[in-house]
Amino acid sequence: MISIVDYGVGNLKSIKKALEMVGAKTKITRDLEDLKNSSGIVLPGVGAVRPAMEKLKELKEFIKSTDVPVLGICLGMQLFATLSYEGGEVECLNIIPGVVRKFQDDVGKIPHMGWNQIEIVKDNELLHGIESGTFFYFVHSYFLETEKSFILTETDYGISFASAVSKDNYYGVQFHPEKSGDDGIKLLENFYRICRA
* Residue 128 known to be catalytic: no
pLDDT of the residue at 8: 78
Domain range for residue 174?
2-196
d(CA 196, CA 193): 5
Q: From CA 24, how far away is CA 17, in angstroms rounded?
A: 9
Active site residue 140: no
β 119-120/151-157 pair status = antiparallel
**pLDDT tens for each residue of the chain, 197 residues long:** 999 999 877 778 999 999 999 999 999 999 999 999 999 999 998 788 999 999 999 999 999 999 999 999 999 999 999 999 998 999 999 999 999 999 988 777 899 999 999 999 999 999 999 999 999 999 999 999 999 999 999 999 999 999 999 999 999 999 999 999 999 999 999 999 999 98
| pLDDT given for residue 164 in this prediction | 98
- What confidence score (pLDDT) does residue 139 get? 95
The 10 Å Cβ neighbour count of residue 176 is 22
- Catalytic residue of the set 140, 176, 189, 195: 176
**Would you state the pLDDT for residue 50?**
93
DSSP state of 130: -
E-strand stretches of 6-111 = 26-29, 40-43, 70-73, 83-84, 90-91, 98-102
Q: Tell me what pLDDT residue 15 has.
A: 95
The one catalytic residue in 74, 112, 189, 195 is 74
Is 33 catalytic? The answer is no
What CATH number is given to the structural domain containing 75?
3.40.50.880
Q: Quote the pLDDT of residue 160.
A: 96
Nearest CA-CA partner of 173 in 120, 97, 129, 133: 120
Number of domains in the chain: 1
Name the active-site residue from 86, 178, 189, 195: 178
